[in-house]
Amino acid sequence: MAVNPDYAGREYPPAGPFQVTREEIAAFADAIGATSPAHRDRAAAQALGHADVVAPTTFAVRLSQQCEAQLIRDPEAGIDFSRVVHGEEGFTHHRPITAGDSLTGVLHVDRVREAGGHGMVSTRVELTDADGQPVTTVTSTIVVRGEG
Protein backbone atom coordinates (compact mmCIF):
# COMPACT_ATOMS: atom_id res chain seq x y z
CA MET A 1 0.00 0.00 0.00
CA ALA A 2 1.50 3.32 -1.06
CA VAL A 3 -0.57 5.31 1.45
CA ASN A 4 1.33 5.97 4.67
CA PRO A 5 -0.48 3.99 7.42
CA ASP A 6 1.14 6.19 10.08
CA TYR A 7 -1.22 9.01 9.05
CA ALA A 8 -4.15 7.35 10.83
CA GLY A 9 -5.03 9.59 13.77
CA ARG A 10 -3.41 12.68 12.29
CA GLU A 11 -5.11 16.06 12.68
CA TYR A 12 -4.26 18.95 10.38
CA PRO A 13 -4.26 22.63 11.33
CA PRO A 14 -7.51 24.55 10.82
CA ALA A 15 -8.24 25.63 7.24
CA GLY A 16 -10.15 28.77 6.40
CA PRO A 17 -11.97 30.76 7.37
CA PHE A 18 -14.28 30.23 4.42
CA GLN A 19 -16.74 33.08 3.85
CA VAL A 20 -20.05 31.70 2.60
CA THR A 21 -21.80 33.99 0.13
CA ARG A 22 -25.25 34.07 -1.43
CA GLU A 23 -23.63 33.81 -4.86
CA GLU A 24 -21.75 30.62 -3.93
CA ILE A 25 -24.87 29.05 -2.50
CA ALA A 26 -26.94 29.91 -5.60
CA ALA A 27 -24.22 28.63 -7.95
CA PHE A 28 -23.95 25.37 -6.01
CA ALA A 29 -27.74 24.97 -5.99
CA ASP A 30 -27.77 25.53 -9.77
CA ALA A 31 -24.98 22.99 -10.28
CA ILE A 32 -26.83 20.23 -8.42
CA GLY A 33 -30.32 21.14 -9.63
CA ALA A 34 -31.65 22.22 -6.21
CA THR A 35 -34.77 24.27 -6.87
CA SER A 36 -35.79 25.57 -3.43
CA PRO A 37 -36.23 29.36 -3.42
CA ALA A 38 -34.51 29.36 0.00
CA HIS A 39 -31.18 28.76 -1.82
CA ARG A 40 -31.53 32.01 -3.79
CA ASP A 41 -34.04 34.30 -2.10
CA ARG A 42 -33.32 35.74 1.34
CA ALA A 43 -37.00 36.39 2.08
CA ALA A 44 -37.89 32.77 1.24
CA ALA A 45 -35.11 31.55 3.53
CA GLN A 46 -36.19 33.89 6.33
CA ALA A 47 -39.75 32.62 6.02
CA LEU A 48 -38.32 29.20 6.90
CA GLY A 49 -36.51 30.62 9.94
CA HIS A 50 -33.02 31.16 8.47
CA ALA A 51 -31.05 34.40 8.78
CA ASP A 52 -30.17 34.41 5.07
CA VAL A 53 -30.21 32.07 2.06
CA VAL A 54 -29.55 28.51 3.13
CA ALA A 55 -27.11 26.16 1.42
CA PRO A 56 -28.16 22.78 0.04
CA THR A 57 -27.21 20.00 2.45
CA THR A 58 -24.28 18.84 0.30
CA PHE A 59 -22.72 22.34 0.04
CA ALA A 60 -20.33 21.44 2.87
CA VAL A 61 -18.41 19.21 0.45
CA ARG A 62 -16.98 22.36 -1.20
CA LEU A 63 -15.38 23.37 2.07
CA SER A 64 -14.39 19.91 3.27
CA GLN A 65 -12.50 19.21 0.04
CA GLN A 66 -10.44 22.34 0.60
CA CYS A 67 -9.53 20.96 4.02
CA GLU A 68 -8.84 17.46 2.63
CA ALA A 69 -6.43 18.99 0.11
CA GLN A 70 -3.95 19.33 2.98
CA LEU A 71 -3.70 15.52 3.11
CA ILE A 72 -3.71 15.03 -0.66
CA ARG A 73 -0.87 17.54 -1.11
CA ASP A 74 1.18 16.15 1.79
CA PRO A 75 3.99 14.26 0.00
CA GLU A 76 4.65 11.98 2.97
CA ALA A 77 1.02 10.79 2.99
CA GLY A 78 1.79 8.79 -0.16
CA ILE A 79 -1.44 9.60 -2.00
CA ASP A 80 -1.13 9.61 -5.79
CA PHE A 81 -4.19 11.69 -6.70
CA SER A 82 -4.22 10.28 -10.24
CA ARG A 83 -5.12 6.93 -8.65
CA VAL A 84 -7.85 8.24 -6.32
CA VAL A 85 -11.45 7.09 -6.62
CA HIS A 86 -14.14 8.53 -4.38
CA GLY A 87 -15.53 5.89 -2.02
CA GLU A 88 -18.24 7.56 0.04
CA GLU A 89 -19.29 10.81 1.68
CA GLY A 90 -21.50 11.53 4.66
CA PHE A 91 -22.84 14.64 6.38
CA THR A 92 -23.97 15.30 9.92
CA HIS A 93 -25.51 18.74 10.12
CA HIS A 94 -25.53 20.45 13.49
CA ARG A 95 -27.24 23.44 11.88
CA PRO A 96 -27.76 24.67 8.31
CA ILE A 97 -25.04 26.60 6.49
CA THR A 98 -26.26 30.06 5.51
CA ALA A 99 -24.90 33.03 3.60
CA GLY A 100 -22.78 35.17 5.88
CA ASP A 101 -21.26 32.21 7.72
CA SER A 102 -17.52 32.27 8.32
CA LEU A 103 -16.52 28.63 8.65
CA THR A 104 -13.28 26.92 9.61
CA GLY A 105 -12.52 23.24 9.03
CA VAL A 106 -10.27 20.81 10.84
CA LEU A 107 -9.26 17.66 8.97
CA HIS A 108 -8.88 14.40 10.88
CA VAL A 109 -7.48 11.25 9.26
CA ASP A 110 -9.58 8.65 11.05
CA ARG A 111 -8.39 5.47 9.35
CA VAL A 112 -5.86 4.23 6.81
CA ARG A 113 -6.03 0.62 5.72
CA GLU A 114 -5.44 -1.70 2.81
CA ALA A 115 -8.19 -3.67 1.09
CA GLY A 116 -7.62 -5.80 -1.99
CA GLY A 117 -4.31 -4.09 -2.71
CA HIS A 118 -5.85 -0.63 -2.56
CA GLY A 119 -5.33 2.08 0.04
CA MET A 120 -8.47 3.18 1.89
CA VAL A 121 -8.34 6.55 3.66
CA SER A 122 -11.24 7.69 5.85
CA THR A 123 -11.32 11.33 6.88
CA ARG A 124 -13.53 13.61 8.93
CA VAL A 125 -13.77 17.38 8.59
CA GLU A 126 -15.31 19.30 11.47
CA LEU A 127 -16.71 22.62 10.23
CA THR A 128 -17.28 25.26 12.90
CA ASP A 129 -18.56 28.82 12.82
CA ALA A 130 -16.77 32.00 13.91
CA ASP A 131 -17.77 31.28 17.52
CA GLY A 132 -16.26 27.78 17.36
CA GLN A 133 -19.69 26.13 17.36
CA PRO A 134 -20.17 22.96 15.29
CA VAL A 135 -21.95 23.40 11.96
CA THR A 136 -21.33 20.25 9.90
CA THR A 137 -19.25 17.09 10.15
CA VAL A 138 -18.24 15.66 6.78
CA THR A 139 -16.93 12.10 6.59
CA SER A 140 -15.26 10.78 3.47
CA THR A 141 -13.49 7.68 2.25
CA ILE A 142 -11.19 7.69 -0.75
CA VAL A 143 -9.72 4.67 -2.45
CA VAL A 144 -6.17 4.92 -3.75
CA ARG A 145 -6.04 2.27 -6.45
CA GLY A 146 -3.13 -0.13 -6.18
CA GLU A 147 -0.61 -0.70 -8.92
CA GLY A 148 -1.79 -4.21 -9.82
Task: Flag whether 139 is in a domain.
Answer: yes
Residue 118 one-letter amino acid: H
Domain count, the chain: 1
CB proximity list for 120: less than 8 A, separation 6 or greater: 87, 111, 112, 113, 114, 141, 142, 143, 144
Tell whether 93 is covered by a domain: yes
Residue 88 included in any domain: yes
Q: The whole model's pTM is what?
A: 0.92
Render pLDDT for 53-86 as a digit per residue (tens, 0 to 9): 999 999 999 999 999 999 999 999 989 888 899 8
- The phi-psi region of residue 33 (left if phi > 0; otherwise alpha if psi is between -120 and 50; otherwise beta) is left
Q: Which of 120, 102, 103, 98 is nearest to 111 (CA)?
A: 120
3-state SS class at 8: coil
- Position 122, amino acid: S
pLDDT band at residue 8 under the 50/70/90 scheme: very high
**pLDDT of 36 above 70:** yes
- CATH no. for residue 115? 3.10.129.10
Q: What is the pLDDT of residues 128-147, one digit of tens each?
A: 999 999 999 999 999 998 87
Query: Which pLDDT score is estimated for 52?
Result: 97
Kindly state whether residue 100 falls inside one of the protein's structural domains. yes
**Domain limits for position 133:** 5-20+59-144
* Residue at 125 is within a domain: yes
